[in-house]
Amino acid sequence: MAVLNKIRQRSLFLIIIIALALFAFVLADLFKNGSALSAKAQNTVGVINGKDVTRDDFLQKVEAAQRQAGASATNNQVINSIWDQEVRKAIMETQFEKLGMTVEKDQMRDVLKTALGSSPDFLNEAGLFDESKLNEYIANLKETSQEGYQGWVNYEKTLAFSALQQNYFNMVKAGLTGTLAEGELDHKLEGNKIDIKFVQIPYSSVDDSSVPVSKSEISDYIKKHEKQYQVEASADIKYVEFKEEASVEDENVLKEQLKALLNDREEYNEGLKASETVPGFLNATDNGDYVNANSDIKFDERFIFKSSLPAVAADSIFNLSVGQVYGPYKDNGYFKVSKLIAVKQVPDSAKVRHILIPYLGSASADASVTRSEQQAKVFADSLLSIVKKDRSKFPELVKEHSSDLGSVENGGEYDWHPYNSMVSEFNDFEFDGKTGDLGVVKTAFGFHIMEVLGQKGQGKAMQVATIAKKIEPSEETIDAVFRNASNFEIAIGKKDFDAVAKESKYIVRPVNGIKILDENIPGIGSQRPIVRWAFSEEAKIGEVKRFSIPNGYAIVQLVAKHEEGTMSADQASATVSPIIRKEKKAEIIKNRAKATSLEALATAEKTTVKTASAINMKNPTITGAGREPLVVGTAFGLKQGQTSKLIAGDFGVYMLQVTKVEPAAKLDNYQAAANRVEQQKVNVVSSKLYDALKEAAEIEDNRAKTQVQ
């Protein structure tokens, strides 16, 4: 009984405990489901018209595209490109599904035939597309390479998408027309003409300082035009850059090192147990070896013209005698010394034709090449023998055997081209020989059966040996930059960022309006880590962080974060203030201008009455004033001889009088004009249709949230 009494006495306490336990259970379930939702969100890069773009699939495409692009594109550029592709694909597929558009098997064969119709791998002996060869190719891929077969499937999907997209655009174009009424209107807009006299009072006649614009006026304007002033989330930062760059002392040391390489020097030879004289660059006999042993840029044995020499030293090097040296001189981030080692006269340009025979492992070899290097050489020699006996067979042999598709249609010919525009072995044969020379030349691409068809001009070509040393900061300079950055970072923990920078004479660089998917920071290039930090939840306004950047550091402060939505008055001030100020100036001018005639107005405003003729509505431009649609539209509403009231245009306030009205000539039939209207509509489909579909689409971009960018 005592126990029961205690339970009764503490019933409220027990109820609270039980309630808390149940609440905890519910919360745990919520967190569990929340994790699932979060996992889904993390795995979805975006949603376009209800279609998910999964993270794994997206990153696979990015990886493949990055491999293909190589160093020509940054990872961020590739990601943006793939995202644009995915958006376009999803938007267009939505339209295809609504219309029930598909590419059937027979259509796909036609698409493949069009795409591959000129590929020699799929042509028969008559030079026609052979579907059985295509089927055999696909079957072999399926059996031998799953990766290759998947690549083929993706290729077919790409072709199918392109075909459907073209069909869709053609359907839209086919549905466009220009009616006779539209043709007549277009004819009149262009053909109806008027002459006017006018007075323009430019807005510049009212000083800006006399027309203040308040924040409340800007805010009111934004409210009335909200759609025009929507912005993405953005951030503002400022930074100080600390560059690891060579000091004057570093450069002087480098120049002295180069000078020391010019002269002979005494070195102790451990093997001989005696000192010996080591030739310097001036007396070196094997210039190539000497350059390669001492230079950051390897020896280039090619002969070059003056135009290919460094601009800062071209005249000096060109005028050297063989064996003489010029330098040290500064060029493109290097200190250099150059030695003229040979001179010869060579043609400025040449014209050749060739047959390229690749071999297994050569740069131009595709999967169909099976010849070994030795077999390719024997075959090239046999073709050379045929050509030597009958040069007229050259074009025929090109079409039959050459793998250089870029020249096959021209009979293997490369028209006039300058010296050093081909690979070195190819270049040497065509420029060192003479017109009519025939021979076999090996390059990285295979064996070339070459004939020199012509040579033009003669010029002085030079072989120059150059020792180059990259201008880099010393360890002492790098340490000093690190100390300066660290001291600055410590100091701004106690004082204002700008004040400390000013004391130390550092330049503060503000960067405003950074978007969440931006990559570049003006002045320091690609800096996604800085952008990600600025938009992270943990980064607070006023916080400072150090970032490693190429050749140095950036000390960055987060100045502001702006949420997605309507611009603030401050953000819109630069755009809206001139609009409001112009409206105010128009009212000021209207209020002060009481004259009712052009002459009186011109006198009062100390200006002149101007004239403009042959004005039309299609191109509403007034000679001497500019493009003024509202003013021109008002003029066309007046009768001949009638004077307008004051009109607020784009560039000033106007009063005008119509002096002549010339209606467009009446036509018996407006079909030609209607056809022009139709063509104008069709012409904008390719450029505007997709943009319109994209604007109407529902696009959720989670690239930043899923950390793929």
pLDDT digits (tens, 9 = 90+) for 344-359: 999 999 999 999 999 9
CA nearest neighbour of 484 among 242, 172, 307: 242
Omega prior to 358 cis, within 30 of 0: no
Residue 52, SS3 per DSSP: strand
Q: What is the pLDDT of residues 510-520, one digit of tens each?
A: 999 999 989 89
Alpha helices in 145-286 (DSSP H): 146-174, 180-191, 215-224, 248-262
Q: What pLDDT is recorded for position 709?
A: 67
The CB density around residue 475, as the number of other CB atoms within 10 Å, is 7
Please give the pLDDT value at position 213. 96
As given in the structure block, the two tokens for residue 450 are: 């070459």
**Cα torsion 263, 266, 268, 271: sign:** positive
DSSP 108-148: HHHHHHHHHTT-GGGB-TTS-B-HHHHHHHHHHHHHH-HHH
Closest CA to 697 of 38, 37, 44, 46: 46
Do strands 230-231 and 274-278 pair parallel, antiparallel, or not at all (unpaired)? unpaired
34-51: burial string, b at 16+ Cβ within 10 Å, e else: eeeeeeeeeebbbebbeb
CA–CA dist 58, 47 (Å, integer): 12
- C-alpha 387/C-alpha 636 separation (Å) is 77
pLDDT number for residue 32: 43
Phi and psi for 611 in degrees, rounded to 5? -125, 155
Contact 343, 317 (CB under 8 A): no
- Residue for token pair 């020199």: 452
pLDDT at residue 147, rounded to an integer:
82
Number of H helices, E strands in the chain: 24, 26
Measuring CA to CA, how many Å separate 114 from each of 31, 109, 110, 160, 161? Answer: 55, 9, 6, 12, 15
Contact (CB, 8 A) for 372 and 324 = no
Residues of the chain predicted below pLDDT 70: 1-41, 707-709
Residues 489 and 506: beta-carbon distance below 8 Å: no
The pLDDT tens digits of the residues spanning 51-86 come to 999 988 889 888 888 888 887 888 888 889 999 999
CB 559 within 8 A of CB 238: yes
Residues 6+ apart with CB under 8 A from 146: none
Cα–Cα dist 327/341, whole Å:
15
Neighbours of 677 (CB within 10 A): 22
According to DSSP H, which parts of 468-512 are helical? 475-491, 497-503
DSSP state of 312: T
Contact 549, 527 (CB under 8 A): yes
